[in-house]
Structure 1
Amino acid sequence: MYNKFAKAVSIAILLFTIPNSVLAFDVDGLFKNLIKYSYPEVKVIQKDEEDTDNNDTINENNTTTDDNEEATNNQFVNVYVGKENIPTANTEDSNGVILDSNVYSSNLRVTNNKPQVLIYHSHSCETYSDSPKGNYHSEDKEHSVMSVGCLLTNNLSNLGWGVVHSTTFHDSPTYNNSYSKSSQTIKSVMNQYSDVNITIDLHRDGLNIANETTKNKIHNKYTATINGEKVAKFFFVVGARNDDVAKVQNLANELTKYAKQKYPDLIMPVVVKPYGRFNQSICDNALLVEVGSNGTTTEEAQASAKYLAEILDGYFKEQNLKNN
């Protein structure tokens, strides 16, 4: 390994000493090959090989539209971030939300070497009402569904689950193909971590907000007070077009029933989308959950993460899905 590394560094130094006019070949491609052949255990993802079908669209009245799920998954960056890098759930200034490269390597955080849960975001740009960007769709991670996914990862990890959390933007710069792009993430992670048997596509609902009156009505509809704390409600979505719709709907119904027994004001009814697939046939236990809406605040959505984790933990332990 040392000899390979030394060779790669030597070639890199040589290249940087050559005048730019001499470099008439693809330097980026050369460095990718250097990485690939020096460290064959690392697969370098090629951005230009992503699926380019234009079948996925976005509408604020129906935020979870579907597209062609067929996508290649033969390339994946193999990373592992151990337990020592799990953010503390009560970090003073960030409420436990740490989304930078100190924790996420190549947009992935893995909390142990046999994770069972994948958390990802097909619509990663969905932001909450207090995002400074103001349009409810941006790469403002700290005010987006990604921050809720980070806290859900913290809480599930603290309950003993191994979790993979992906912060890949599947819907930027365009929403086209966001579900086929996220299917690449699912398949790649499951190919890398064979113990993953629960996938959670975490969204927030989106509605037309014409004015402050409408915004207040939406806010009231999508929030509840639990243990004296204002939190965002959540609900599960089922895509009726997927091959395993009966299984997916049963899982969503059972989780909703379980949640209602614990926190009846927190869970909203299951929503079935007749046109959707939402990648719910890839994994045995596939969930799409909407946490709050564009009328709720980031803090309210983040506050739901511990309750959602408690519900998922309790239900799946009852189903004996957690490894001892």
Structure 2
Amino acid sequence: MNNRKNKDIEDFSRMFTSICMFFITFVIFIIIFNQAIGYSSKNGLQRNMFYVNMINFTMPQVKITSFNEEDMAENQVSIKKVFSEILGINIDQPYSVIHREMAALNLVPYSGIGNNIAKSNDNNSSNIENKDVSFKLDNEFIQKPEEGQTPSAEGASSVFNQALVKELSAVPEVLIYHTHTSENYDPNKANTTDQTTNVCAVGEALKEELEKYGIKTIHDTTVHDRDVYTKSYARSSVTLDKYLNEYGDFKLIIDLHRDSITDKNSITANFNGENVAKIMFVMTKKNPHFDANMKNVNSLIDISNRLFPGFSKGVYYFNYGSLYFNQDDSENALLMEVGSYVNTTQESKNSAKYIARLIAEHLNGKNE
């Protein structure tokens, strides 16, 4: 009798455990499903790469036959990242785990640690796609630098350094363009062609600030990420080639983006009483011009750390990225992210005068 009773208890226990496990699994599935939809919407992704990763995890052959290096480089969504964000952990910033578990640290807003993010998205294939030859850009669409004198710095902020001003250069020294032209900022939707609010607004503000220092700048606003998002770099490479053919090399070529970090504290600084979106560089190690490119980046980071500590978040490294992020076209090419979609357009435009100061120090003699 006792044996039967014990068996009934064991059977009930197994059934109860199975029901609980099923219920927990179902709840987790619903949470992940909603999180994935929200993640895709918040970050303005052109496709939901969370589901792509789920398929690749369960059916590896799909990854080989259906998706290429560029798809994965353009859309940094992973199962691990989504699970971590559900728990409130940022896997790109391990300090966030400590920050979450030790409430006392919340007295000080987390602003990130270190200058270099020691993570690398490896795309270990030398099969780099060709440029998008279907993307035509006639010479008439190449922007010409404006003629005239160095713009007046009257009313400039305390960030501005008059000692760095020189006569406006005769030829353009800096080129600013946007591979992901539609990247936008809070409180607007994540992607838009409205160039008064998206990354183009930041690029235009940076151009204006640079020319106050006498650094003639071209700001190209050609849209490269419409329709086929994963061809963005192939298209922007066509644009870059046009400028290189027209002007030769530039002293600095900036592909200006914004990040997709969700923690605003980690991507925002406060200087001179105003919120400023932080900057980060994204570079490709296998790019043949990597060493030369990094000389520019390291110089800008060193100046930033000296003048505006905490403004630069350092470097995020890829091996190949997507078409080397066009950094193989010039020894002076770099990719810069200004803020994230959680920053406002104004906060990101506020960064322009700080970035311009770094560049002026770098190009015009690094005077104090």
The TM-score bracket by the shorter chain reads 0.5 to 0.7
TM-aligned CA deviation for residue 317 of structure 1: 2.2
**Corresponding residue of 1:95:** none
- Structure 1 pair 65–81 and aligned structure 2 pair: CA distance change class (3 A): farther
**Corresponding residue of 2:109:** none
Q: Which has the larger radius of gyration?
A: 2
**Corresponding residue of 1:115:** 172
**Corresponding residue of 1:189:** 243
Q: Which residue, 129, 134, 137 being the options, matches 1:68?
A: 129
Contact residue 88 and residue 154 of structure 1 kept, 8 A: no
The CA deviation string for residues 80-126 of structure 1, in whole angstroms up to 9 with x for no partner, is 353469999999xxxxxxxxxxxxxxxxxxx9761111100001011
What CA distance in whole angstroms lies between the structure 1 residues aligned with 2:185 and 2:153?
A: 21
Q: What does 1:108-187 correspond to in 2, within 5 Å?
A: 114-131=171-188, 134=189, 136-187=190-241
What CA distance in whole angstroms lies between the structure 2 residues aligned with 1:90 and 1:299?
A: 21
User: Gaps spanning 5+ residues in structure 1: where?
Assistant: 1-53, 92-110, 208-214
Q: What does 1:1-324 correspond to in 2, within 5 Å?
A: 56-57=70-71, 58-59=74-75, 61=77, 68=129, 70=131, 75-77=138-140, 79-80=143-144, 82-83=146-147, 114-131=171-188, 134=189, 136-194=190-248, 196-207=250-261, 215=262, 218-276=263-321, 277-318=324-365
**Corresponding residue of 2:19:** none
1:82 corresponds to which letter in structure 2?
E
1:206 corresponds to which letter in structure 2?
S
TM-aligned CA deviation for residue 141 of structure 1: 1.5
What CA distance in whole angstroms lies between the structure 2 residues aligned with 1:225 and 1:319?
A: 23
Contact residue 125 and residue 171 of structure 1 kept, 8 A: yes
Contact residue 132 and residue 231 of structure 2 kept, 8 A: no
What CA distance in whole angstroms lies between the structure 2 residues aligned with 1:89 and 1:123?
A: 31
- Structure 1 pair 196–225 and aligned structure 2 pair: CA distance change class (3 A): same
TM-aligned CA deviation for residue 70 of structure 1: 3.5
What CA distance in whole angstroms lies between the structure 2 residues aligned with 1:90 and 1:168?
A: 31
Give secondary structure in 2 for the equivalent of 1:199.
strand
Give secondary structure in 2 for the equivalent of 1:183.
helix
* Structure 1 outlier segments of 4+, above 4 Å: 64-67, 71-75, 84-91
TM-aligned CA deviation for residue 253 of structure 1: 2.2
2:144 corresponds to which letter in structure 1?
Y
How large is the RMSD of aligned CA atoms in angstroms? Answer: 3.2
What CA distance in whole angstroms lies between the structure 2 residues aligned with 1:86 and 1:138?
A: 32
What CA distance in whole angstroms lies between the structure 1 residues aligned with 2:366 and 2:274?
A: 30
Contact residue 238 and residue 252 of structure 1 kept, 8 A: no
What CA distance in whole angstroms lies between the structure 2 residues aligned with 1:139 and 1:89?
A: 30
- Give me the identity figure in percent: 33
Structure with the bigger percentage of helix: 2
Contact residue 170 and residue 182 of structure 1 kept, 8 A: yes
- Structure 1 pair 241–296 and aligned structure 2 pair: CA distance change class (3 A): same
TM-aligned CA deviation for residue 184 of structure 1: 1.1
Give secondary structure in 2 for the equivalent of 1:146.
helix
Contact residue 289 and residue 330 of structure 2 kept, 8 A: no
Q: How many residues align?
A: 235
TM-aligned CA deviation for residue 60 of structure 1: 5.3
What CA distance in whole angstroms lies between the structure 2 residues aligned with 1:314 and 1:226?
A: 18
Give secondary structure in 1 for the equivalent of 2:281.
strand
2:276 corresponds to which letter in structure 1?
V
Contact residue 169 and residue 214 of structure 2 kept, 8 A: no
2:272 corresponds to which letter in structure 1?
N
The CA deviation string for residues 36-81 of structure 1, in whole angstroms up to 9 with x for no partner, is xxxxxxxxxxxxxxxxxx864332559x999635456894225535
User: Gaps spanning 5+ residues in structure 2: where?
Assistant: 1-67, 79-120, 156-167
